[in-house]
Chains A and B, each alone.
Chain A
Amino acid sequence: MDLTADERAMLAGEEGPAVQAAMDLLVRYGEALGAERFLDTDNVAGVPGMVNQFLEGYYADGGATHDEIFARHDLDADETFEIPDAKARTARLQGTVEPDNWEAFGTDPEDARLDRESESFEADHGVQILKTCTPYHAGHLPSYGEHCAWMESSAVVFINSVIGARTNVEGRESTSAAMLTGKIPDYGLHREENRYGTHRVDVEFPVEGVMDWGMLGYFVGKHVQADKPVLAGNYGSPDEIEHKHFGAAAATSGGVELYHVVGETPEADTVEDAFGPTEPVDVLTYDESAREEIYHELNEVGDDRDVDFVMLGCPHYSIEQVRKVSRLLEGETLHEDVSLWLFSSRKVGEQAKEEGHAGVIEAAGGEMMTDTCSAMSQAVPPGTDVVAMDSAKQTHYLPAMVGDVEAWFGTTEDVIDAAISGTWEGSLE
């Protein structure tokens, strides 16, 4: 690779052994990609220094200190050294441990302890402890064109598509190395020529609302896989929440990392802008029958209509979504057989407390959760047989992750109705 003077200095150890190891890893990674150079980044989202019992056990000979695990695991080095503070602005993404309710989640106390200790280590090194898959709802968001190094597929597709920031789907090791060096390989979606659309999606059925944008995302991902869809046609102006659910679903059923919505997203004022010099390789049509097919696909593991768990917050809810749920639950009481867990970032959770929304949800019998979700923690309330959700992504993952549960997918209103009545009555009408 063609290294700049500061990159060569880091690689030579002039900023200490940890930065040297981080640069060494990035060079190996950049060469594996076939990249020719690095870009500067001051915007990282990852899971630096996360420790679980397996890693603690594996590195036990060296004492399994946080420095050791960061050096040998995050940076893939063979020696241990002290880890300096983050050089790039870095946010910690979600994990697998709920900070207050981990016992109810069935989390091993040792993993809960390790999660707390990792968090202290991260905070001490300048990492923002957001613990969310939606850092953009919690104050950590890039600007248009900014080069970033982010993990978390739903967040990657959001900042690429909705904001016009530039990131590939990074991994734990590359984000931790970027945090210490402020560098990431110039590859893939960082480069303009790789950001043009590949498939045109003609939206014939009018798409509006979180459920419909989620279904459209699931449809698109299924058909384009990891390519770059361009939506044109019959939709209103999608808001941040509709984009979030569309992108999360498209990243789940396919692997979409960037999409364009003509007239809405920043790199697609027109169809011509979205495709640039390229021609669409295929054209898909989203019509009423496609919509029905996706609805039935998402609901195919639903049979029993007696709902006993409502899971909200995939991706983590925004404050507007929490407020909406509190309005729907105002003066209501959950059915005695139903549990409701609502997941958000800590920041949104705190705001919901201050604004009174959390109090309303809790008074109805719901519980406010942070840091993780049911699929990440593989946790549902004891005795759960039937789950209702407003997220296509969580509907895809949860039955597979926890096993032996049925799932219903619908609007937020459908799901809250089921939480109150105990019965699933959602439909496409």
Chain B
Amino acid sequence: MSERESDGSTRDETDDGEVTAADETTADGEETIVLPGRSVVGGRAEAEALVTDETISGWGGVNPYNGTIIETRHELAGECFTDKVLVFRGAKGSSGWSSIFHTTRLAETAPAAMVYAETTTKVALGAVVTRAPAVTDLDRDPTEVIETGDRVVVDGDAGTVTVTKRAGDEGADSAADDAAADDAASD
């Protein structure tokens, strides 16, 4: 009764078999990693990753009207997740978590997809109503494998995350580093 796929997504028909982790290196030297996991929300999206190994607070932690992390002590403070693949540990804080992420969908500031490590009621409900493709229960900790700036394909139908490492790995954590630098500057 509802349109579940993200707008304009193309659904890859996957063969119904086992998906296993595969690390490949393409001809032009890009490393590609496939992480098998569990589908949370269907649909497919491809975007740049924004990664934190911390949990994210919804109410009081995210401004849904501009898609920005506002929790002052968070390593992604000031970073915008709109149209990115948000890779994070999980949810914390108020029971308003789903309402905040629900609002990002209406305000068109939502992430392109979500990949998270730890399931709770907050993050599961929030992912469902955000309706962006989402995957969890990956065979490795996604916050360790994926770095900010990597190109990521989230296939919420197959339950897989495909990561293409950013060329020239130096400073792959630039967003977190920038946030840390901002903190240092304001001290």
Contacts and interface: CB of A to CB of B under 8 A. Distances in A.
A22 to B, nearest CB: 12
A28 B39 CA distance: 11
A171 B1 contact: no
The contact size tier of chain B is 20 to 34
A73 interface: yes
A168 B125 CA distance: 12
Interface stretch (A150-158, A209-217, A271-279, A305-313): A150-158
B129 A24 contact: no
Contacts of A136: none
Given A173-B125, A173-B129, A255-B92, A78 B97 contact: no
Contacts of B180: none
B96 A20 contact: no
Interface string B61-90: 000010000001000000000000000000
Nearest to B4: A28
Interface string A180-203: 000000011000000000000000
Interface in A60-92: 73, 76-79
A331 B72 CA distance: 44
B1 A153 contact: no
A255 B65 CA distance: 25
Q: Which of B38, B120, B121, B134 has the most CB of A within 10 A?
A: B121
Contacts of B93: 255
A225 B55 CA distance: 11
Contacts of B151: none
A172 B99 CA distance: 7
B20 interface: no
Q: Is the interface of A mostly helix, strand, loop or mixed?
A: helix
Q: Is the interface of B mostly helix, strand, loop or mixed?
A: mixed
Contacts, number: 91
Nearest to B64: A54
The contact size tier of chain A is 35 or more
B131 to A, nearest CB: 8
A78 B119 contact: no
B72 to A, nearest CB: 8
B40 to A, nearest CB: 5
Q: Which of B94, B97, B125 has the most CB of A within 10 A?
A: B125
Contact of B98 (A79, A172, A188, A225): A172
B125 A32 contact: yes
A121 interface: no
Interface of B: 1-3, 38, 40-41, 60, 65, 72, 92-99, 102-103, 106-107, 119-122, 124-129, 131, 134, 137
Given A31-B40, A151-B96, A171-B121, 5 more contacts: A28-B128, A32-B119, A54-B65, A76-B129, A172-B96
17 contacts: A25-B128, A28-B128, A31-B40, A32-B119, A32-B127, A54-B106, A78-B1, A169-B122, A170-B95, A170-B121, A171-B95, A173-B99, A173-B128, A226-B120, A255-B93, A400-B60, A401-B60
**Smallest CB-CB A-B distances: 10 pairs:** A171-B98, A32-B124, A151-B95, A168-B121, A171-B125, A32-B40, A33-B124, A78-B2, A169-B95, A28-B128
Interface of A: 20-21, 24-25, 28-29, 31-34, 54-55, 58, 73, 76-79, 151-153, 156, 168-174, 187-188, 225-226, 255, 397, 400-401
